[in-house]
Amino acid sequence: MLNDAFAALKSYDWGTDLAPLAPIEDAVAAAHGNAEAGKELEARLLTALQGELSRDAKDYICRKLTIVGTAASATILAGLLTDENHSHMARFVLERIPAPAAAQALREALPKVSGKVKIGVIGSLGARRDAAAVSALSGLLADGDAAVARAAATALGDIGTVDAVKALQAARPSAAATMQAAIDAQLTCAEALLAENKRAEALAIYKSLASDDRSKLVRLAATRGILACAAKNA
């Protein structure tokens, strides 16, 4: 049954029947708690992924690897990150599987990609809260592509380490949207710090954003944060 399903993958494409792939769904569910079965299934999926399949079939495999993928998937999927037709679905896996090799694959792809694909990789590093990416992302705050810089700011906000905060506070982007993202990211970091009872660090961020040169929206957000810090201290 599973063999038939993998055979069906070879002709799977938009408009073909999903039913023949049902045994793969069953195998994914059955792999829970069975490391051997999961490893075997992953290997078969990765072999198929490297074959001559339609884009839809490769996307399907990536959806399954999101659940059963391990570090072994990271190596194969790293090669797809630079391909604009497959980069997103490669990230579908690499953003969600906890293996450090997945984060490494994303970090290594950063200098190799540009434009939208780069923004995607940045977003996935942020979603992973990859502290090891902070240095590279900090450098992108001054990227000539404003959309890349904006994405880097948002990702640094997601990661929220001390170095991420420092980079965001030091950023002086000329693009208004990037500055908005950098400020939002700092507020995000402050909230995370306050949730961890790091009141002094959070307060410092809020106070830096409460100055008169900020927009009313930002000043109010900062003031709310300052009040939240006071409430926590009470």
Partner 1 sequence: MSMNQKPTRRAFLKTSGVALAAPYVITSSALGNADRPPASDRIVVAGIGIGNMGRGDQNAFLNRKDVQYVALCDVREDFRDNSKAGVDKHYGNSDCKVYNDFRELLARTDIDAVHIATPDHWHAIMTIEACRNGKDVYCQKPETLTLREGPLMVAAARRYGRVVSGGSQRVLGDYRKMVDPAWAGEYGKIKSINVNVGPMPQLCNLPKEEMAEKIDWDLWLGPAPWAPYNSKRCSGSFSINGSSWRSFSDYSGGGMTDWGAHHFGGALFICDVMELQPEEVTYHGDQGAPYLSLRYPNGLIVYHNRPNTGNLAIEGTPNEPVPPKPVPGYKGDGIYGDFIQCVKTREKPFRDIERAANTAVVAHLGNMAYQLRRSLKWDAAKQEFPGDETANRLVDRARREPWQL
| Residue numbers at the binding site for partner 1 (CB under 8 A) | 14-16, 18, 29, 32, 56, 59-60, 63, 66-67, 85, 87-89, 91-92, 94-98, 116-120, 122-124, 126-127, 147, 151, 154-155, 180, 184, 187-188, 191, 217, 220-221, 224
Quote the least distance from Cβ 135 to partner 1, whole Å: 20
| Sequence-distant (≥ 6) Cβ neighbours of residue 147 within 8 angstroms | 116, 119
- Alpha carbon 154 to its chain's center: 11
Mapping DSSP to helix (H, G, I), strand (E, B) and coil, where does residue 79 land?
Answer: coil
Quote the least distance from Cβ 117 to partner 1, whole Å: 6
Quote the least distance from Cβ 163 to partner 1, whole Å: 20
Closest to partner 1 by CB, 48 vs 97, is: 97
CB 94 within 8 A of CB 106: yes
Dihedral sign, Cα of residue 144, residue 120, residue 101, residue 190 = positive
Quote the least distance from Cβ 212 to partner 1, whole Å: 18
Closest to partner 1 by CB, 122 vs 167, is: 122
Quote the least distance from Cβ 84 to partner 1, whole Å: 9
Backbone angles phi, psi at 214, to 5 degrees: -85, 160
Closest to partner 1 by CB, 123 vs 173, is: 123
Task: Give the tokens for residue 38.
Answer: 């999961």
Using the structure block, give the residue that is written with the tokens 């100055």: 211
Closest to partner 1 by CB, 14 vs 174, is: 14
Among 189, 196, 123, 124, residue whose Cα is nearest residue 161: 189
